[in-house]
Chain A
Amino acid sequence: DGGITQSPKYLFRKEGQNVTLSCEQNLNHDAMYWYRQDPGQGLRLIYYSQIVNDFQKGDIAEGYSVSREKKESFPLTVTSAQKNPTAFYLCASSPDRVLDNEQFFGPGTRLTVL
């Protein structure tokens, strides 16, 4: 089945630790995205990548880092510099950067920092 997988579904970390969230897609999509969702808030864009080995900051990139070494993978690292990392993180992909492509979403990872 084609789709986007995110692992793990729930993640707990101690304050001050870096943590990496996984996102893999087998849809052969060029573009991939990371969003953060807080209760009562919409999705806010953290980083996005439109091609391998290239990525751009979104609206709330501070305290996060990404890599895009393979087309199918776009891991997100939440660093200790992120002041309030507890949130629901969603990964998405789309065929390319064209305006009219809808984004396909993964099931999300709920990160809780203790």
Chain B
Amino acid sequence: AQKVTQAQTEISVVEKEDVTLDCVYETRDTTYYLFWYKQPPSGELVFLIRRNSFDEQNEISGRYSWNFQKSTSSFNFTITASQVVDSAVYFCALSEASPEQGGSEKLVFGKGTKLTVNP
């Protein structure tokens, strides 16, 4: 069965530090998608990025970057020059077809990493 592991429960950094959030996944499928979501204190999840299993190119969006490595089943997220507004819980998620549900797709989430950026 698919599984997402975010080993870091909580991380605390000082503003302007770089920080990397780890995500390791397990899947038997060759076609799958990986996602990162941000959950600020307000509670609503905000979509950050989607990556398909055939595209291993790293991606950069402003201060955010993602490193996808199929060889290690990892999809790590780095925030460069962190800011207080980056404080949130970050979730990594895996989308995979579920044969037992007639091919229906489900999103499996990791337990999240709580990032605190101190001024």
Contacts of A99 in B (CB 8 A): 31-33, 95-97, 105
A40-B42 CB under 8 A given contacts A98-B105, A99-B96 = no
Q: How far, in angstroms, from A102 to B42 measured CA to CA in the complex?
A: 20
A81 to B107, CA, bound (A): 26
Known: A90-B45, A99-B95. A42 touches B112 (CB 8 A): yes
- Contacts A98-B105, A99-B97 given; indicate if A88 touches B43 (C-beta within 8 A): yes
Q: Which residues of A contact B45 (CB under 8 A)?
A: 43, 90, 92, 105
With both chains docked as a complex, state the minimum distance between the C-beta of B5 and any C-beta of chain A, in angstroms.
10
Interface residues on B, range: 20 to 34
Instruction: Give Cα A105 to B31, complex, Å.
Output: 24
Q: Given A41-B111, A42-B109, A58-B106: A100 and B50 within 8 A (CB)? A: yes
CB pair B112 A105 closer than 8 Å: no
Q: B residues within 8 A CB of A44?
A: 109
Known: A40-B9, A42-B6, A100-B33. 5 other contacts (CB 8 A): A41-B111, A41-B112, A48-B104, A102-B47, A105-B37
List residues of chain A with CB under 8 Å of any chain B CB. 33, 35, 40-45, 48, 50, 56, 58, 88, 90, 92, 97-100, 102-108, 110
